[in-house]
Amino acid sequence: MSFSKKVTTADSTIANSGFGTNATNYGGRLLNKDGVPNIRKTGIGFMEKFSWFHSMLSVSGWRFFLIIFSFYIIVNLIFTAIYYLIGVEHLSGLIVHSPIDKFTEAFFFSAQTFTTVGYGRISPVGFLTSTVSAFQALIGLLSFAVATGLMYGRFSKPTAYLKFSGNALISPFKNEKALMIRVAPFKNTTLTDAEARLTIVITEEVNGKPINKFYIADLELSKINAFTLSWTLVHPINEESPLFGFSKESMASARGEIIVFIKAFDDMFSNTVVTRTSYTMQEIVFGAAFQPMFYGENNTTVLDISKLNTFESFSFDDENTVEDTKKASQ
């Protein structure tokens, strides 16, 4: 990596960032685009590696319901096999004769016992069958209690419904350049007291070894009272910026990452919500400006989320007009 000049103050360097400084110990980016740390843990047992409660709360909706449905089917198949091995003649009211019909009836009896519905047509006869059905009913009660708790946890979990632009931009700003990242709320929630923090990670050679250096990036505006429209985070690239002196070519070949943290207060959750993302140097577009994504229509302001990452590219060699600067700062 080579660039013409880079000056940073000592106070801007983060001594304890929470990430290691030795770049050779890292594989790829520090944070994924969804804000999840790019880390895979080993050295412990499979059951100890995951917090199943957190995993079930964070997994996608279709996977969550697939897991619940699969668990329901598998548990009932296991108990159906137990009833079948004990003997379906111990299930009073069973009037079918073929093995497939017997297994099917045993499965539906298992499902009725598991859900504690109990229609009454089929009932267990004998100590062993009654013991199994009683134990299954207990498992069913506990399972549905856990599933209900997980459902409530997923719906009530404080979540920052914010979308980040797919790219960060180097845009004109006040007769100089600035790093710009756009973020916007996309749900019908009300966010207030929003605060943003930007950390720039640059891999530099120190005594022949790649070292990650972390810098606090000053923002033109780091706090806003109401977060209802899009918000463009602007980091001026002046002589105190760690990005000062980077050209388009040097930035494309550099190793580094821009880490973004945003927290805000959500009135609906009555709680503080937090989200984060990151951009590698290769995800920064040099010489571009975001296009406006909200406009007035019928006495209402329309926020077009589909235009979150819409930008116009140009060359910094051209003379930037006032209109370009205005576009970049919106």
Q: How do residues 200-239 score in pLDDT, each as one tens digit?
A: 998 877 777 878 888 999 999 999 999 999 999 999 999 8
DSSP state of 268: T
CATH of domain 49-156: 1.10.287.70
pLDDT band, very low/low/confident/very high, at 139 (cuts 50, 70, 90):
very high
DSSP state of 13: B
Sign of CA dihedral 83, 89, 90, 91: positive
10-33+166-329 has CATH 2.40.220.10 classification: no
Strands 168-173 and 284-286: parallel
**Model pLDDT, residue 133:** 93
Lowest mean per-residue pLDDT among 30-39, 169-178, 230-239:
30-39
**Model pLDDT, residue 10:** 39
Integer Cα distance of 177 and 271 in angstroms: 36
pLDDT band, very low/low/confident/very high, at 137 (cuts 50, 70, 90):
very high
CB atoms within 10 A of CB 260: 21
Integer Cα distance of 179 and 196 in angstroms: 14
Residues 174-204: tens digit of each pLDDT: 888 999 999 999 988 889 999 999 999 988 7
Q: Which residue has the higher pLDDT, 325 or 195?
A: 195
Single-letter amino acid, residue 24: T
Lowest mean per-residue pLDDT among 37-46, 127-136, 148-157, 269-278:
37-46
**Model pLDDT, residue 327:** 43
**Model pLDDT, residue 324:** 44
Mean pLDDT, all residues of the chain: 84
* pLDDT exceeds cutoff 80 at 78: yes
Residues 236-280: tens digit of each pLDDT: 999 889 998 888 888 888 888 999 999 999 988 889 999 999 999
**Assigned token pair, 218:** 């000053």
* pLDDT exceeds cutoff 90 at 143: yes
Q: Is 30 exposed, middle or buried (0-12, 13-18, 19+ CB in 10 A)?
A: buried
Separation of CA 61 from chain center: 13
Domains of the chain: which residue ranges? 10-33+166-329, 49-156
Question: Which of 232, 233, 231, 229 is closest to 302 using CA atoms?
Answer: 229
Q: Any idea what the Cα angle at residue 212 is, between residues 246 and 231, rounded to 5°?
A: 60
**Model pLDDT, residue 1:** 38
Question: Which of 241, 253, 251, 254 is closest to 199 using CA atoms?
Answer: 241
**Model pLDDT, residue 120:** 80
Is-above-0.85 flag for pTM?
A: no
- Extended beta strands in 148-188, E state: 162-164, 168-173, 176-185
Sign of CA dihedral 281, 283, 288, 291: negative
**Model pLDDT, residue 3:** 39
215 and 8 Cβ atoms separated by less than 8 Å? yes
**Model pLDDT, residue 328:** 44
- Extended beta strands in the chain, E state: 91-92, 123-124, 162-164, 168-173, 176-185, 191-206, 209-217, 223-227, 231-237, 256-266, 271-280, 284-286, 288-290, 294-297, 300-303, 311-313
